[in-house]
Structure 1
Amino acid sequence: MTEDKKSLLQEYKLEPDNELRFEVEAKAEKVYLTLKNGLAEIFGTEIVKGKTYEFTAGAKVAVYTWQGCTIEVKGKTDVIYTAKETPMVLYSNCHAALEIMRSESEKENKRGPITMIMGPTDVGKSTLCKILLNYAIRMGRRPIYVDIDVGQSTISIPGTLGALVVERPSSIDEGFSQEAPLVFNFGHKSPEHNSKLYKMIIDQLAVIVKERLEVNKKTRHSGVIINTCGWVKGEGYKQLLHTGKSFEVDVILVLDQERLYNELVRDMPNYVKIVFLQKSGGVVERSQHARSEIRDQRIREYFYGTTKKQLYPHSFDVKWSEIKLFKIGAPPLPDSCLPHGMKPEDHLTKLVALTPNPGILHHILAVSFAEKEDDNVILSHVAGFVCVSSIDTERQTLTLLSPQPKPLPNNILVLSEIQFMDSH
């Protein structure tokens, strides 16, 4: 295994079951990759021979080949090396086992496997989800992808939980098509900020996903793949158990932590298949700063798109009187303030009306699908997100950054703790 900093044009000949891994320099312009001969894939998506793919600053790429290939890389990489030991055969075996379960579900006309991927932070859970989804699609399946990792969500912006019917492989440089995802606003970077609310949204998401499985036969047999967050101890572990039971999972793939694997074997029902997998050697730990930068990048892409697919968001003013602003969670009332014998309401899941104020500047607001505030706003999925870019207390107006022009699809807005400083 060689590891060094390379620039300009390099050609790499890969043996079967080898993986070329590289990271694009943070300050680099772009890195270009071309498959010259043989067969190769990136996270389960096949590379088209002769086509040039471009990767921007910060991208982490792993090119895997089953039969051997020649790859040309042009541009400055932070690190580039060929790995001769990879867990791809194990991951492929997991896909094959899921495919057997899907075939059985077709014969018996029941739902396909619901698979959950667990492990601590930075072990490659999202990557494994992508590989398994891409392999399923290449077999003609239409699985549902569920992402409940609110810190680094791949379906929508950070602070959300979401589900998506995946119909075609992820594009190598853009990811999965984000058409019509189902998105719920949680509004925090970690479930621990409001575990009761997180649990409620998980239950609601599970109900809707199971309904979707009943509606479409192809999706029902294809099953579900669930990505989870890296909080695996204490209350986080209890949340994972709750999620598994709520979604009625059949398979749990545990990455890199034997303790978690053994706890799940002890605590999950016997019919749930639990498999321990090693993480890829290409996975790197990200600092808090790096994770924060990735979150900002996700929000920026939501409004402005990527270098390949640019979006042009809108900025407009709305009067305070035109919107109904809420937040979830109120300060707890001390027992002494309550009538005798009355239990305190659960303050963590209480909907509280807000008057716009300077404290919401740069905060993300979720545009709810709830038709009126009496509807369950907390458990309504969202139409999209806007960001408060300025506040005029004298004129009582908010300036919003929005993916689409005025008017807003709905006037019920829910405050998120996630912030975004618009630098454009």
Structure 2
Amino acid sequence: MAASQSPHVFIPEEWSDAVESIVRDSTSSLPPITFICGPKNSGKTTFSRYLLNNLLLSINCFDDRHKRVAYLDTDVGQPEFTPPGCLSLTIINEATADLMIPCLKTPERCYFFGDVSSKRDPQTYLNCVTALRDHYTKVLCFSSKNGSPSRSEQPLIVNTPGWVKGIGYDLLVDMLKCIGPTHVVKINISSRTKNLPAGAFWLEDDDDASVNLIEISSARKDSYNRSVLVQKEARLIRELRLIAYFRQCFPSDMNVTTIKELAHALACHPPYQVPMSSIKIRHLHCQVPNTEVLYSLNATIVGLAVNPEDSQSLPVCVGLGIVRGIDVSRNLLYVITPVPQSILESVDLLLQGFIQIPNGLLQVLYKDVYRPTCLQMSSLQISRYQLSAEAWSSALRLVGENP
């Protein structure tokens, strides 16, 4: 079985065979947990989209278990459905029309790690992965006849980063042991020294080797020879995804076809006023002196989170925001975000990491900022800023009307 693909994507035969074997297992036994790993630029994301589509299209009239597929994304640098810096579990119910175009979706559960690599804090990163796996197991699982939890009705796809050496390798092994996949798809590139070890590298001698290991080659033969170009592309993609995310501040049916129209929309869009007394601020991966907290927070991207009742749990992230300005005299933060107000009401924690505002967006937001005019909308105070729009032209062309 093969899902329809975009015309510019080449799917090798061994990829199709690998996907068919996983889909076949999913229809004859419990839904699979597929862990996809390999070095940078090996095609993990494309393969995961291809597998996702085929799992969704494998539904038949007698078995509707796969009407939804769970997608656990551990790649904080190039996530599939969220902005950079997030680890997430997303439930997908429809196939992707184009394997080349990522799309933003609201995750089932999300944690803001605040960086594009796990190297600053591997333990917190692994804690996030474990929490997402637990959410999949406890919340999305059904119960068997004796009342004990059994495997989820929904297949799970686990997408991983391309850091497979040193600490990255150790994290990958820990994730494999934590998640306990039924299938592991290992993608190899032409440069053998960059690949993961052969075989079930994460298993000890006395471990159960019942997992189905599938080794395939990258569709790109020159994948690692393009390392410098790939790094540049990665930075560009991250910036575009952030621009696409914050463009969601506007209604999806809004007719934005020119730069002037987009500039007008931005100029009219009201940031939220957030009383500093109502929230806590947490800096991730570093310590900031109390005297520098507000200075470091201004003009940054923050995770909008909800403090857990259980002190041992991680704060759940409901979205990202841009701190547009700070009024120290009034103890107010000005935050712009596409997160609905009904969800924002539960936010009581701002998480600041190292996710930077794209340069073009930064120039727009802070080039021609005037004194805000405060308005009252119910109990929520908002402000309007006058903006210029020179740097939005490239974003408009690359992102399009539908992020």
TM-score of the two chains, using structure 2 as the length reference: 0.70
Task: Name the residue aligned to 1:220.
Answer: 152
Whether the 8 Å CA contact 1:388–1:401 is kept in 2: the answer is yes
Counterpart CA distance in 1 for 2:335 and 2:354 is 16
Q: Report the CA distance between 1:295 and its aligned residue.
A: 0.9
1:322 aligns with 2:282: no
- Residue 131 of structure 2 is aligned to residue 204 of structure 1: yes
Measured against aligned partners, the alpha-carbon deviations of 1:197-224 in whole angstroms (never above 9, x if no partner) come to 1111111111111224414999934421
1:20-39 superposed matches below 5 A:
none
Which residue of structure 1 aligns with residue 80 of structure 2?
Answer: 154
Structure 2: runs of 5 or more not aligned: 60-65, 145-149, 255-264, 365-388, 390-403
* Aligned residue type for 1:123: S
2: CA distance between counterparts of 1:131 and 1:251?
15
Deviations 1:181-209 (A, max 9, x none): 32111111101111011111111111111
From 221, 239, 245, give the equivalent of 2:177. Answer: 245
Aligned partner letter, 1:197: T
Give the structure 2 partner of residue 255 of structure 1.
187
Moved more, 305-314 or 177-186: 305-314
Is the 8 Å Cα contact of residues 327 and 353 (structure 1) preserved in structure 2? no
- CA distance 1:289–1:309, shift in 2 (3 Å): farther
Give the aligned partner of residue 147 of structure 2. Answer: none
Inter-partner Cα distance in structure 2 for 1:404 and 1:206: 25
**In structure 2, distance between residues paired with 1:294 and 1:126:** 13
Confirm or deny that 1:92 pairs with 2:16.
Answer: yes
- Asked which structure has the greater RCO (Cα within 8 Å, sep 6+), the reply is 2
In the alignment, which residue of structure 2 is the partner of 1:291? 234
Equivalent residue in structure 2 for 1:272, among 201, 211, 227: 211
On the 8 A contact 2:56/2:69 being kept in 1, the answer is: yes
Aligned ranges 1:60-209 → 2 under 5 Å: 62-63=8-9, 87=12, 89-105=13-29, 111-140=30-59, 141=66, 142-172=68-98, 175=102, 178-209=105-136
State the 1:103 CA deviation. Answer: 2.4
Residues in 2 aligned to 1:45 and 1:308: alpha-carbon distance in whole angstroms? 30
State how far apart, in whole Å, the 2-side matches of 1:155 and 1:329 are. Answer: 24
Question: Secondary structure in 2 aligned to 1:120?
Answer: coil
Which of residues 343, 347, 350 in structure 2 aligns to 1:413?
A: 350
What CA distance in whole angstroms lies between the structure 1 residues aligned with 2:143 and 2:101?
A: 27
Q: Specify the SS of the correspondent of 1:132.
A: helix
Identity value in percent: 22
CA contact (8 A) 1:148 1:228 kept: yes
The structure where strand makes up a greater share of residues is 1
Residues 41-97 of structure 1: per-residue CA shift (max 9 Å, x gap) = 9xx4457xxxxxxxxxxxxx6245xxxxxxxxxxxxxxxxxxxxx51x211111221
Counterpart in the other structure of 1:73? none
- Structure-2 separation of matches of 1:405 and 1:101: 40
CA contact (8 A) 1:360 1:388 kept: yes
Which position in structure 2 is the counterpart of 1:386? 321
Q: Which moved more, 1:351-360 or 1:151-160?
A: 351-360
Give SS of 1:130's match. Answer: helix
5+ long unaligned stretches in structure 1? 1-40, 48-60, 65-85, 106-110, 332-350
Letter in 1 for 2:44: K
Q: Structure 1 length as normaliser, TM-score?
A: 0.67
When structure 1 is superposed on structure 2, of 381-390 and 230-239 the one drifting more is 381-390
